[in-house]
Amino acid sequence: MMASQLFGNANVNLKILRERAFNLRWASVPEGVIPLTAADPDFPCAEPIRDAIQKFTSSGYFCYSPPEGYGFFKESISRFFKNKRNINYDPANILPVDSAAAGIFMTCQAFLKPGDEAIVFDPIDFLFRHSIEAIGAKAVPFAVPLSPDGLMNFQQLDLLIGPSTKMICVCNPLNPTGKVLNKAELQELANFAQKHNLIILSDEIWSDIVFSPAEFTSIAAISNDAFNRTITITGYSKSYGLAGLRVGAVMAPDPEKFKMILTSSGHESTVHGCNSLGQVAAAAALDECSDWLASFKEHLFAMRNLTVNELNQIPGITCPSPDGCYLVFPDIRKTGFTPVELQEKLLKEAKVAIVPGLPRWFGDMADGHIRLCFSTSEEILSEALFRIKACLS
């Protein structure tokens, strides 16, 4: 089925979204407001995912799943990484988790202790800093380009190293800027980690959402050394619309590191764990939904271009075109508004909700920017952009 059919306005059920889509989205905003906020699609998941869930639930049994996850899901993940990422992860060293966010937290808990330091990109999603600081460690910011095609200053990295530095956190593609790290940049990061004997935490939840000509490479595929020191984390909310099923995965290079992560996860005590339906859904996504995902990316490519073109016509706004993610992170400093002032103005006057680039959410480098999500229909997105332009022009 064509992208225009799968992702047209007819496939956006606003009645259900206003009942179920929370986290700053349709169910969290006043009537009449269009939310371009949380990075979550407005479309239903693919039909094979729904079929798999219905088949699994038809028996009526919802038993405990293994603490280390269902074997069929781990096999699906392993095949995906071998075929799509050129990485051979042993299914035994893959841990299904209840979200990529949980995977970030448990990885920090496994490899950091109070007083340690971990290098994080700036800007970046707040979950990295939150996870590091929650265990008493320190997040050390590494300023990265705000434009997706900007050059990274790798010489700065050595200035951030101290005796307590134990980890570097990579987010690729990068939320909120949409930068996709190329092989040369990943090689620099891998060399840096090897030089200083650091664990690499690689968040790759956005790795399916990459726009040509950009190409995604996992840092674990760069070299044997990079593989051996990298913990890869992913999830299935961005690519397949499964946020509410709370499912992700953590990949370890060896049994020792896997055991450290499993111990820190709380799965063995049943305090935490990845739910059964999430694993069933994500396995179906990986095994049966490649065509659906290709159509989704085709739609998102058009929505990216629409968003960037429209925002760049507004006086005072400069919007780079992201190479990945379905987010834009425009510079609004020349409008004369702060991010919070512009957020409030657009919500009140344009009836459009956006995310302000506040340090507590994205780091100090985010100041002077806002974030918009464009994973909706062309009709809804066009209306939202029309309202923004009318309000600010």
What digits encode the pLDDT tens for the residues 308-354?
999 999 999 999 999 999 999 999 999 999 999 999 999 999 999 99
Q: Please state, in angstroms and as integers, the Cα–Cα distance from residue 89 to each residue in 86, 192, 314, following that order.
A: 10, 23, 47
Q: What is the pLDDT of residue 393?
A: 85
Q: What is the pLDDT of residue 153?
A: 94
Task: Please tell me the distance from the alpha carbon of residue 274 to that of residue 68, in angstroms, as a whole number.
Answer: 9
Over 90: is that where the pLDDT of 270 sits? no
Instruction: Name the band, by pLDDT with cuts 50, 70 and 90, for residue 1.
Output: low
Query: What would the mean pLDDT of 52-76 be, rounded to a whole number?
Result: 97
Q: What is the pLDDT of residue 217?
A: 98
Q: What is the pLDDT of residue 104?
A: 98
What one-letter code names the amino acid at 55?
A: K
Q: What is the pLDDT of residue 2?
A: 62
Nearest by Cα to 63 from 276, 217, 236: 276
Task: Please tell me the distance from the alpha carbon of residue 83 to that of residue 105, in angstroms, as a whole number.
Answer: 28
Over 80: is that where the pLDDT of 42 sits? yes
Per-residue model confidence as pLDDT tens digits over 197-249: 999 999 999 999 999 999 999 999 999 999 999 999 999 999 999 999 999 99
Determine what percent of the chain is predicted with pLDDT higher than 90.
97
Instruction: Name the band, by pLDDT with cuts 50, 70 and 90, for residue 306.
Output: very high
Buried b (16+ CB within 10 A) or exposed e, 114-149: eebbbbbbbbbbbbbbebbeebebbbbbbebebebe
Per-residue model confidence as pLDDT tens digits over 82-133: 999 999 999 999 999 999 999 999 999 999 999 999 999 999 999 999 999 9
Query: Do 254 and 228 meet the contact criterion of CB atoms below 8 Å apart?
Result: yes
Per-residue model confidence as pLDDT tens digits over 132-152: 999 999 999 999 999 999 999
For domain 3-47+290-392, the CATH superfamily is Aspartate Aminotransferase, domain 1 (3.90.1150.10)
61-288 carries CATH number 3.40.50.1450: no
pLDDT, the chain, mean: 97
Over 90: is that where the pLDDT of 4 sits? no
Over 90: is that where the pLDDT of 362 sits? yes
Q: What is the pLDDT of residue 132?
A: 98
Task: Please tell me the distance from the alpha carbon of residue 180 to that of residue 210, in angstroms, as a whole number.
Answer: 8
What one-letter code names the amino acid at 297?
A: K
Over 70: is that where the pLDDT of 73 sits? yes
Instruction: Name the band, by pLDDT with cuts 50, 70 and 90, for residue 3.
Output: confident
Specify the domain boundaries for CATH 3.90.1150.10 within the chain: 3-47+290-392
Phi/psi of residue 260, each to 5°?
-60, -45
Over 70: is that where the pLDDT of 295 sits? yes
Specify the domain boundaries for CATH 3.40.640.10 within the chain: 61-288
Task: Please tell me the distance from the alpha carbon of residue 209 to that of residue 206, in angstroms, as a whole number.
Answer: 6
